[in-house]
Amino acid sequence: DAGVIQSPRHEVTEMGQEVTLRCKPISGHDYLFWYRQTMMRGLELLIYFNNNVPIDDSGMPEDRFSAKMPNASFSTLKIQPSEPRDSAVYFCASSPSLLSGRARETQYFGPGTRLLVL
Amino acid sequence: GENVEQHPSTLSVQEGDSAVIKCTYSDSASNYFPWYKQELGKRPQLIIDIRSNVGEKKDQRIAVTLNKTAKHFSLHITETQPEDSAVYFCAASTSGGSYIPTFGRGTSLIVHP
């Protein structure tokens, strides 16, 4: 298994531009999480999905952030318009389903997208 | 909701020494406590976990202890090596509940050769 896949790995953009981050979870995982990591705030949970349905988006900073999961193998996190304070590393993670026989609580992180908004 | 406090934020040791990182949690319903290691520029990865039905778990040079009464758990690394240098995160969640972990703020461990 290739693990959780994220793209792009690095993104540099200018303030006001739209940014779209992409994630492909591990096949058979039914939970998907989006995190933001900064030195100041640590690892913050932004939103998570179960079976493609958003369950809790209370961590999304503001309306400029949106996330979708159109199917079990793909999710996006969009920032529009982007601001310098959005600069961070964004991680996607997934967790196994109950039927997989693996520890449901374990989170498998992707390599992250390093975002810099100028 | 759950609140996880982690200390210290930075820990510097000499190679061969032991390192201990401590976490406290607030929700008595939490029963699953994983530890993740994040090397510089890499993703967090699970290194060890413990469930509330045991008090200690070991895996080679790392061990985790849990005190349910006091609501705290600790990561112990013995005979530290430079490759142990990383940020370590503790977390707490409820198996059978939402499974969603609450992470601590992380501890940056530096092992000096």
A105/B93 Cβ within 8 A: yes
Give the closest of A42, A45, A103 to B105, CB-based: A42
Structure tokens at B7: 């200390």
CB atoms within 10 A of CB B113: 8
Q: What is the Cα Rg of chain B in Å?
A: 13
**What is the Cα–Cα distance from B68 to B38, expressed in whole angstroms?**
26
- Closest-CA distance, B37 to chain A, in angstroms, reads 11
Q: Own/partner pairs for A62-69, CB < 8 Å, 24+ apart?
A: A67/A34, A69/A32
Give the closest of B32, B42, B103 to A105, CB-based: B32
What is the mean predicted confidence (pLDDT) over B5-16? 97
A109/B43 Cβ within 8 A: yes
Alpha-carbon torsion (A106, A111, A113, A114), positive or negative:
positive
Query: Any bridge partners for residue B90, and if so which?
Result: B35
CB atoms within 10 A of CB A38: 13
Is residue B21 within a helix (H) or strand (E), and if so which, with residue range? strand B19-25
Q: What is the pLDDT of residues A40-81, one digit of tens each?
A: 888 999 999 999 999 999 999 889 999 999 999 999 999 999
- Closest-CA distance, A76 to chain B, in angstroms, reads 19
The pLDDT assigned to A97 comes to 74
Q: What is the Cα Rg of chain A in Å?
A: 14
Please check whether residue B75 is in contact with residue B18, taking contact to mean a CB–CB distance below 8 angstroms.
no
Quick check: B2 contacting A, CB < 8 Å? no
User: What percent of chain B stands above pLDDT 90?
Assistant: 83
B41 pLDDT band, cuts 50/70/90, is very high
Q: What does the H/E/C string look like for B40-60?
A: CCCCCEEEEEEECCCCEEEEC
- Closest-CA distance, A93 to chain B, in angstroms, reads 10
B100/A45 Cβ within 8 A: yes
Please list every residue in chain B whose beta carbon sits closer than 8 Å to the beta carbon of residue A95: 99
